Structure 1
Amino acid sequence: MDRFERIYQLHTILSGRRTPASNRLLQDKLECSESTIKRLVGLMRNHFDAPIIYDRKRNGYYYDTETGAHPYELPGLWFNADELWGLLTCHRMLRDLSHGIFGEQIAQLQTRIEKLLALDNSSAECKLESVKILTMASRYKGHDHLFTKIAAALFGNRRLKLVYQARSDGQISERTISPQNLIYYRDNWYIDAWCHSKNGLRTFALEKIKSAIRQNIPAKHIDRQQLEAHYTSAYGIFGGPAQHLAKLKFTPERARWIADEQWHPKQTGRWLDDGSYELCIPFGDHRELLMDILKHGRNVEIIEPEFLRQAVIQEIQAMLEIYK
């Protein structure tokens, strides 16, 4: 048991008693010596201003409840040590995924957590260096205040006025949106929203948002089931209904990986007699699915639909022209 856990348990014991907790009881509960109990009490008094009083007659400790209007609580200790490590690790992961996002907002919380965890005589930063997040093809290079503004509008249920550049044709337009979901997908950030300019649900890439102004107008509420049906029915980042079903056959060599992968929430798969694996995926817009199929090269064959087979053939032929 580390020092932090003992402080947490000591606080729990003292808070739950009406009479002093004896030295013997504390030693048994905290699995330590009498000298360690004294050091813990001193640390709590000096570091956390804990009103711990020693009763000589009973050779025990208790919280002074007469001088304070409310029962004493350890400052900032809403979690046990494992939960604090989990919280700090999540912050580290978010920082590595998109550097600086929400950094200022939770910097004080992070500092407090690190101080508490330092009670076990170790460095939180050194331990967290063992947690690595590797990203590829990340495109978001916007300012932190833009991300914060978008997130604040989402959480505050407010509309946003955007200046947005479409990636498909490079056209710049003004959009008024009601944010619905903030998405981190394939190392990039997106916002799912109701677009009042287009009168429908749309997905916007954060790196293509040139400016965002929060409006003091309540956002349009879209039922959660409607959102799920629109954004999880099709394949990948594209929304809309899944109008097609792709049937893919992977070679036995690649099947060992594919059988454990989830490409779509409603996919189905089965092993074939020759050791290959058949994967069926619903989709609407085929562009992202096409890229995912091509990266497996000769280890996958499209069984159906025919138009998807032809799209792959055309792509391969275009590639061959480059390498002739």
Structure 2
Amino acid sequence: MDRYERILALHRTLRNSRYPVTVARLQDELGCSRATVYRDLAFLRDALMAPIVGDGEAGFRYDAAEADRFELPGLWLSSDELHALLAAQQLLSRSGGGMLSNALAPLQQRIEKLLDEHSSGRQWPVDRVRVIPHRSRRMDEQAFRFVCSAVLERKQLSFEYRARSTDEKTRRTVSPQRITHYRGNWYLDAWDHGREALRSFSVDRVGGARVLDAVARDIDEAELDRHLAGSYGIFSGEPKGWATIRFNARAARWVADEHWHSQQQGRALADGGYELRVPYSSPRELLMDVLHYGADAEIVEPASLREQARSLLALALSNYEN
């Protein structure tokens, strides 16, 4: 443990201890000599102005009246915490196809500088963190920035939106509620003032965005979840029913560990299979995910959803008849 991490560990130990901590215990926790413990205590007290009280006989602690108000100056993180932060930064910058790289570049530089201070200039192989984007969509970085700014600043947002299903282009004015990352893509949950309803917008279909001066209308979190997260999929709406899907033993080893919905219900079957129940409103996305498992999955109910799956499979099979 280097001095930086010893000071951080010493601070945490003294702050979390209700009673004086002996020098022997500090030696054991910090993995250093008695003289080093005293030097670190002196640095923490004299240079960083920590409210240390006590002596070598009874032990050391923070003054109870000052402990809650004292914080180490600057950013004090352990090497493990910095490595985790650097890995998270790499994940964010690479998962969006580089969209966030420019915005996050200063953060990466600051993290790497802190790591260098920990390790005497050793270079960290950030290329060891590998992120492979899968079916992510191209996105206008400026539009993404405007959307994020409107969400965080609680301002209304105006933009042109081209629906993927119809290719229809409309102008929307919305009160942004939250931005959601789902299956490699970004979505905006918002109150649409023209439709007077909650809507989700795929950010890659947003163009000509501008943040307005008008304050955004805030919708209660419970109402957002009821309308936008109550059913299966990103464009879910309030649930209209429950779907029961049965997976054979081969697929069960995967599905039993998968998160399909916050309210999902699952149970193991006697033959080694797995039964999953999820609430749904629009069946399109649920059908695609079930059909992804091919012959390893079967929709049991409702009958209408089962019939839709059968029709889709028949259409797919017709592509191979000749």
TM-score, normalization by structure 2: 0.78
Q: In the alignment, residue 168 of structure 1 is paired with which amino acid? A: S
2:115: which partner in 1?
117
**Could you say if the C-alpha distance between residues 6 and 244 of structure 1 is closer, same or farther in structure 2, counting changes exceeding 3 Å?**
same
What's the CA shift string for 1:65-117, capped at 9, x where partnerless? xxxxxxx9976324333333332222111111124455444543432321121
Amino acid at match of 1:176: T
Deviation of the 1:281 alpha carbon: 1.1
The yes-or-no answer on 1:206 pairing with 2:176 is: no
CA distance in 2, matches of 1:27, 1:251: 57
Output the amino acid matched with 1:94.
Answer: L
Contact 1:137 1:187 in 2 (8 A): yes
Residue identity matched to 1:316? L
Secondary structure, in 3 states, of the residue corresponding to 1:213? strand
Q: Match of 2:194?
A: 197
1:245 is aligned to: 242
| Residue in structure 2 matched with residue 269 of structure 1 by the alignment | 266
Structure 1 residues 252-294: Cα deviation after superposition (integer angstroms, max 9, x where no partner): 1111211111211111111222222111111000000010011
Paired residue type of 1:134: I
Number of residue pairs matched by the alignment: 289
| CA deviation after TM superposition for structure 1 residue 208, in Å | 0.6
**Cα distance in 2, alignment partners of residues 85 and 161 from structure 1:** 39
The one-letter amino acid of 1:263's match is W
Is the 8 Å Cα contact of residues 8 and 76 (structure 2) preserved in structure 1?
no
Deviation of 1:201 (Å): 0.6
In the other structure, the counterpart of 2:91 is 93
Specify every segment of 5 or more residues in structure 1 that has no aligned partner in the other structure, as ranges.
14-25, 45-49, 53-71
**Paired amino acid for 1:142:** D
CA contact (8 A) 2:160 2:172 kept: yes
Query: Do the aligned partners of 2:79 and 2:115 also contact (CA within 8 Å) in 1?
Result: yes
Cα-to-partner distance string for 1:200-254 (whole Å, 9 max, x where unaligned): 0111111111221100000011001101111221111123111111111111111
Aligned positions of 1:65-76 closer than 5 A: 76=74
Aligned partners of 1:95 and 1:101 also within 8 Å: yes
Please report the TM-score for the alignment, with normalisation by the length of structure 1: 0.78
Quick one: which of 159, 164, 170 aligns to 1:162?
A: 159
SS of the equivalent of 2:315 reads helix
SS in 2 for 1:222: coil
Structure 1 CA distance, aligned partners of 2:80 and 2:191? 39
Shift of 1:136: 0.8
2:256 equivalent to 1:280? no
Percent identity between matched residues is 40
2:173 is aligned, of 153, 172, 176, to 176
Deviations 1:9-29 (Å, cap 9, x if unpaired)?
68999xxxxxxxxxxxx9988
Q: Give me the CA root mean square deviation.
A: 3.3
Unaligned segments of structure 2, at least 5 residues: 14-25, 50-69
Closer, same or farther in 2 for the Cα pair 1:302/1:99, shift >3 Å? closer
The SS at the match of 1:134 is coil
